[in-house]
Amino acid sequence: MSQSAVLSNSRSRRCILAGEVMIELSEADKDHFRQGVAGDVYNTAVYLKRCLPEGEISLLTALGCDTLSEHMKSVIQHEHVDTSMILSHPNKQPGLYAIHTDDDGERSFQYWRNDSAAKQWVNLWLHENSLLPAVDLIYLSGITLAVLDNNQREQLLYMLCEAREAGAQVAFDPNYRPALWQSADEAALWTERAYQLTDIAFPGIEEHKLLFGHQDGFDAMDALASMGVSEIVCKNGTDHIQILHNETMVSVEVTPVEKVIDTTSAGDGFTGGYLAARLQGKPVRAAAEQAAKVAGIVIQHAGAIVPQALFHQAYN
Ligand code: ADP
């Protein structure tokens, strides 16, 4: 069966989203933080599940054995994201980040994730398993790779390679975060290796400028096509979404949101919406329109995850 045929029939889809999930502390007022659960791959899992309720969406990561980890799992379950692949590290804990907003509304992020359980998830997985289970789609990001050591990165790429052989599609968003890498060269190397195993890629123009010196979406698409990526979805804020799919170019306009509240997880929501549409067999243009709609909802709310009821009100 060809890869595109895998996506086009209508049975329920199984997806694994592999990477990091953290506790998010966002300022409620001057003296208090509100506690949430977020992280790029988790955000994508949430929006994918919301747009594809019939899909089985599993988060593959590691948390600890502490009370906070249990609480996070219950929040994830409340999103109907499957937690059966979340590994428990015996003595490490979840990562955490705080969002600070200054008097001008500018946001900054502070992280405590250097020794988190999520940095060990591949090692934990390999204690009991040698490969990933058979699924339709595996999604990971550059942050998934960045938080792992080299040995675990190698093991993960090996598992992806085997999963593709078994018929899974791989989707990848480079989500370049310079602070998580030793150098841009290191990030470029691992990003490129991941692209070589990718079917659906979500490059951002800005990150490709930094990582590969690309000037625009055409440069990025040329480079990724030559690495064998068959579906390339280039995003660039309010600019057109450009898609190269099986050698055909599609351009989709973005309607700018008038009042942007917070762009955190715009890209994650976009990816979740896009993948949901593709897994439902929709063509790439409709998928990009759905992705832009989800991202447009996300940026009109504070924080990574829009409350369920508000999301469904805006989405349906
Ligand atoms: P990332 O968060 O990965 O950097 P972008 O900033 O490129 O991603 O945004 C991802 C998508 O979010 C865009 O393709 C677009 O659909 C949507 N988006 C971002 N900013 C806006 C905006 N101001 N108005 C409407 N949609 C937006």
Concerning whether 104 is annotated as a catalytic residue, the answer is no
User: What is the ipTM score, two decimals?
Assistant: 0.98
For the CA of 205, the nearest atom of ligand 1: 7
Whether ligand 1 lies within 6 angstroms of the CB of 137 is answered as: no
> How many angstroms separate the CA atoms of 230 and 199, rounded?
5
For the CA of 260, the nearest atom of ligand 1: 23
Whether ligand 1 lies within 6 angstroms of the CB of 296 is answered as: yes
Whether ligand 1 lies within 6 angstroms of the CB of 143 is answered as: no
Whether ligand 1 lies within 6 angstroms of the CB of 236 is answered as: yes
> How many angstroms separate the CA atoms of 277 and 8, rounded?
10
- Return the SS3 of 150: helix
- 299 alpha carbon – ligand 1 mean position (Å): 8
- 30 alpha carbon – ligand 1 mean position (Å): 29
> How many angstroms separate the CA atoms of 82 and 108, rounded?
31
> How many angstroms separate the CA atoms of 277 and 31, rounded?
42
CATH code of the domain containing 90: 3.40.1190.20
Please state the separation of Cα 21 from the chain's center in Å: 11
> How many angstroms separate the CA atoms of 111 and 284, rounded?
36
User: Going by CA atoms, what residue is nearest to atom 9 of ligand 1?
Assistant: 237
Whether ligand 1 lies within 6 angstroms of the CB of 304 is answered as: no
Domain count within the chain: 1
Q: What does the pLDDT read at residue 106? A: 74
Structural domain range at position 62:
3-315
Whether ligand 1 lies within 6 angstroms of the CB of 270 is answered as: yes
| Regions of the chain short of the pLDDT cut 70 | 1-11, 105
Name 203's Cβ contacts closer than 8 Å, sequence gap at least 6: 173, 174, 217, 220, 224, 232, 233, 234, 235
For the CA of 202, the nearest atom of ligand 1: 3
Q: What does the pLDDT read at residue 3? A: 45
The CA dihedral of 219, 221, 223, 229, to the nearest 10 degrees, is 170
> How many angstroms separate the CA atoms of 292 and 253, rounded?
9
The one catalytic residue in 136, 173, 199, 268 is 268
Please state the separation of Cα 303 from the chain's center in Å: 16
> How many angstroms separate the CA atoms of 83 and 51, rounded?
18
- 207 alpha carbon – ligand 1 mean position (Å): 14
User: Going by CA atoms, what residue is nearest to atom 16 of ligand 1?
Assistant: 292
> How many angstroms separate the CA atoms of 156 and 226, rounded?
22
- 110 alpha carbon – ligand 1 mean position (Å): 23
> How many angstroms separate the CA atoms of 196 and 194, rounded?
5
Whether ligand 1 lies within 6 angstroms of the CB of 292 is answered as: yes
